[in-house]
Structure formats: structure tokens, C-alpha cells
Amino acid sequence: MAEKTEQRVAVVTGASRGIGEAIAHALAEQGRHVVCVARNAEKLEATAKSIRDAGGPGGASVKTCDMSDADAITELIESVAKEHGRLDILVNNAGITRDNLLLRMSDEEFDDVIQTNLRGVFVACRAALRPMMRGKWGRVINLGSVSGIVGNAGQANYAAAKAALAGFTKSLGKEMAAKNITANVVAPGFIQTDMTDVLPQPIKDAAQKAIPLSRFGQPREIAAAVAFLASEDAGYVSGQVLAVDGGMTMC
């Protein structure tokens, strides 16, 4: 194992675009070294370069991984801990959608989403807890969704995975509290990303009407919530589901 550095080390999955990219920037600005993870190496390199060009004190590096591959996830986490001598922060942001109405949803569409969005998180957390326990400090932030709180037509698989993350994360928080490791969920609402940009305008209009703040959120607003939960100041916050959704779930 490499000699342990003083700088905290964070792993952010799904860091090649959108919310994950914004989270990587926010943590680097806090002075964390961010290991950016996704499947597309070229896009990851662009994220890491933009972090370095911005002059964030934390810096960034890149690792590719398929978050549906349990062995690859475990190897990823272990390699980060070995190379840096520590792993302090895990942000499970990577996820997929396979939207379809339930009557038309195939077993494969259901299983693919559960495999990546839930089982992948479980495997990553299990691997990350060991170096966090050695360091006697840790922050786990899992990205949920308002779909996991209120449901969403055509997303029974996605909503199931995100709802399960809440119970999973609360259980993790209780198990790890004595080890000074916290675990929380940030549940975004409608956020302006390339995924929402392609939605038909009538769907965007209907969604905006359901948001009390009457607008889509920005990736940096999700990143700010994650950055707080990953900080030293959030040591007394664990087992929480923080909806960052413009008020959609306040009722």
C-alpha cells in the first residue's frame, strides 16, 4: 500500500457528465483529491482536466469501471485505497434507466436497473468500508431520486432501486456510526442535464408545473448538498434522505 497522504480522497462514480461532474468539481474545490469514475475514459479525462484547469486544490485522477460488474467495482475501490493509502469519501452517483410501463417491462429491463443502481452501490460500499474503518473516518453519499420517494409512471424499476437505497443507506449508517462513518442519500428532483434536455417540451412543462419553485434544478445545486454531506461539518448527519427537488416532495 502506498504511503498515506494527508489529503482526503473521494471516489465519485458517474463523474463524466452532469451531476457527477459537478460533484467532482465541488469536492475538488474543497481540497479533496477526486477519483473520477465512469465507463467512458475520454469523457472522464475531460472532467479531470476541467478540474485541474479550474485550479481546484484537490486535483483529480481517472479510473474506468462498469458499475454493473461486481468484481470490477471491488477492484476499483481496492486499487484507489492502495494507490493513495486511504479512501475517505464515496459518492455513488452512477446509474442507468430502462424506462417502460410495468405491463411492458421485461425481466432484463428490471434486472439491469437493479444490478447497476442498487447492487452496484452495495458492492462499492462494502469494499469502501474497510479503508474508511482503517482511517476512522468516512462519508458515504448515495444519489437517490424523487422517483424513489413518490414513484414515477414508466419507472417502476428505477423507483424501486432508488427507494431501496434509502433503507440500505439508513442501515449502513446505523452499522457504521460507531466507526465515525456517516451515510446519507441525496435525492434530486428534475435537474437540467443532457438527460432532461431531450425530454419533449410538454413533459418539461408539466414537470415544471409540479415544482413549487417553478424551475428545474442545476447540477451545482445537487453538488452543493453532496459537498456538505462529505465535509467535516456534516459529522452529526447520518441516515438522512435529503430531497433537492425544488419542493416537489414537501407535501
Please identify every residue annotated as catalytic.
Answer: 158
**3-state secondary structure at position 17:** coil
**3-state secondary structure at position 236:** coil
Cα-based distances in Å from 28 to 36, 162, 178: 11, 26, 27
- CA-CA distance, 44 to 15, in Å (whole number)? 7
- CA-CA distance, 157 to 97, in Å (whole number)? 8
Strand order in the sheet with 60-64: 60-64, 33-38, 9-13, 89-92, 138-143, 181-188, 241-244
Half-sphere exposure of 111 (CA within 13 A, CB side): 3
- CA-CA distance, 251 to 249, in Å (whole number)? 6
Burial 116-128 (b: 16+ CB within 10 A, else e): bbbbbbbbbbebb
* Of residues 181, 184, 145, the one with CA closest to residue 163: 145
CA 251 to chain centre: 25
Cell 480522497 belongs to which residue?
9
